[in-house]
């Protein structure tokens, strides 16, 4: 979700050298460049209180941190800090959908009308695959005036996924399904609802059986309240000239549900994306469908050129290609990705949303540049 929390409505290195360097020299240069970029982010006017980067290469972890995880205590970020992973949760709903397709409980060609009759009467022909790739034309519920009004009244209140989808129940499709790309948070609510309808159980139980259990994710959950498990990376609203405002427990993540309501840690996010991208959670046919791409950016944009697959984005950087997802939620901006075989990954966590706007455009650009440098560090 991309809602700013300050007001009622808003709560809603260098170029590559031509000469090829020996591996050790190349890695040292990338390491120095990454350190420099991380320093620039936290030192910038309007920058976040803290950040962390967890790089995994061939079985070994490299963890970097800057600033603080908690402004009040001064505690530094750790690789085991819980955080709201925001739209990276869309990859988890992709994993569930593809796992259920592998089991034969649903297909990527199943439509909303077939699996969820009456839920979105004007969106009946939209398929599961189109929802996963953001090409179904579903209107985005977080932009609905009715949702904004309800959310503003009590950001901590629980809203069911059916209530969330209900905010756009009578809205027309934004375009003919399959004809265009448009990132919509409604898409992954529909994915989660279709999966649980097909399986005859709750989406939370599907997450547990299809994702958490096989990957031993014991610190990952989808809460229904504003409470955060400890320890956690506190999320802040930052504005130049003002003290950071802790918004970690202001907004109920159930308002994002399968689209962005998961809490996890850098260690477990990295483990998930390595397995998800490598296709370890579903069969080869599902992975082939997952890795069919078209132009389309995650929100916020990830490093390099962005292309959209099914529940995953391809990021083509100056150092190579990785696959993953970004996330944006009040207090948090994140990026996680893996190489194709799941041997190398990056988890980049910032404890402020930092969306382009007044005073934050330069910081947002610096974060995206640092993400690409972190990818270079992982791949070299």
10 close to 343: Cβ distance less than 8 angstroms = no
Torsion of CA 179, 185, 189, 191, to 10 degrees: 40
Give the pLDDT confidence score for residue 26 in this predicted structure: 56
Q: What is the DSSP letter of 211?
A: I
Q: What is the DSSP letter of 380?
A: -
Each residue of 54-70: pLDDT tens digit?
999 989 999 999 999 99
Which residue ranges of the chain lie beneath pLDDT 70? 1-28, 356-359
Per DSSP, the three-state class of 138 is coil
Q: How far is CA 74 from CA 43, 55, 83, 333, in A?
A: 16, 24, 17, 20
Give the pLDDT confidence score for residue 1 in this predicted structure: 52
pTM for this prediction:
0.92
Two tokens, residue 17: 């050298």
Each residue of 192-216: pLDDT tens digit?
999 999 999 999 999 999 999 999 9
What domains, with CATH codes, occur in the chain?
Answer: 8-379 (3.40.710.10)
Q: Give the burial string for 116-154 (b: 16+ CB within 10 Å, else e).
A: beebbebbbbbbbbbbbbbbbbbbbbbbbeebbebbeee
Give the pLDDT confidence score for residue 355 in this predicted structure: 79
Two tokens, residue 204: 């939370």
């Amino acid at each position: 979700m991309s809602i700013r929390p300050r007001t009622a409505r808003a709560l809603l290195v260098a170029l590559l050298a031509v000469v090829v360097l020996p591996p050790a020299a190349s890695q040292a240069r990338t390491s120095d460049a990454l350190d420099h970029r991380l320093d620039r982010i936290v030192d910038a006017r309007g920058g976040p209180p803290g950040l962390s980067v967890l790089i995994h290469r061939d079985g070994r972890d490299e963890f970097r941190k800057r600033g603080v995880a908690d402004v009040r205590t001064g505690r530094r970020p750790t690789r085991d800090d819980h955080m709201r992973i925001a739209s990276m949760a869309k990859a988890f709903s992709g994993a569930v959908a593809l796992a259920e397709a592998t089991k034969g409980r649903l297909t990527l060609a199943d439509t909303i009308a077939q699996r969820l009759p009456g839920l979105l009467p004007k969106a009946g022909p939209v398929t599961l695959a189109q929802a996963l790739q953001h090409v179904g034309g579903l209107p985005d519920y977080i932009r609905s005036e009715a949702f904004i009004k309800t959310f503003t009244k009590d950001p901590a209140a629980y809203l069911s996924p059916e209530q969330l989808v209900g905010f756009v129940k009578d809205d027309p499709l934004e375009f003919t399904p399959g004809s265009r790309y448009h990132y919509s948070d409604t898409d992954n609510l529909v994915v989660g609802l279709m999966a649980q309808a097909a399986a005859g159980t709750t989406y939370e139980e599907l997450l547990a059986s299809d994702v958490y259990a096989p990957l031993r994710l014991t610190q990952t959950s989808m809460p229904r309240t504003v409470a955060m498990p400890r320890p956690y990376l506190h999320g802040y609203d930052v504005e130049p000239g003002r003290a950071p405002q802790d918004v970690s427990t202001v907004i109920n993540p159930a308002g994002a549900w399968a689209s962005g309501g998961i809490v996890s840690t850098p260690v477990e996010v990295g483990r998930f994306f390595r397995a998800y991208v490598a296709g370890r959670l579903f069969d080869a046919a599902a992975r082939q469908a997952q890795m069919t791409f078209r132009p389309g950016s995650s929100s916020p944009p990830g490093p390099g050129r962005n292309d959209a697959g099914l529940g995953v984005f391809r990021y083509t950087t100056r150092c190579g290609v990785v696959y993953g997802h970004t996330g944006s939620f009040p207090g948090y901006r994140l990026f996680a990705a893996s190489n194709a075989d799941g041997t190398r990954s990056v988890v980049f966590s910032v404890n402020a949303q930092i969306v382009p706007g007044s005073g934050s455009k330069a910081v947002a650009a610096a974060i995206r540049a640092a993400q690409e440098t972190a990818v270079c560090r992982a791949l070299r």
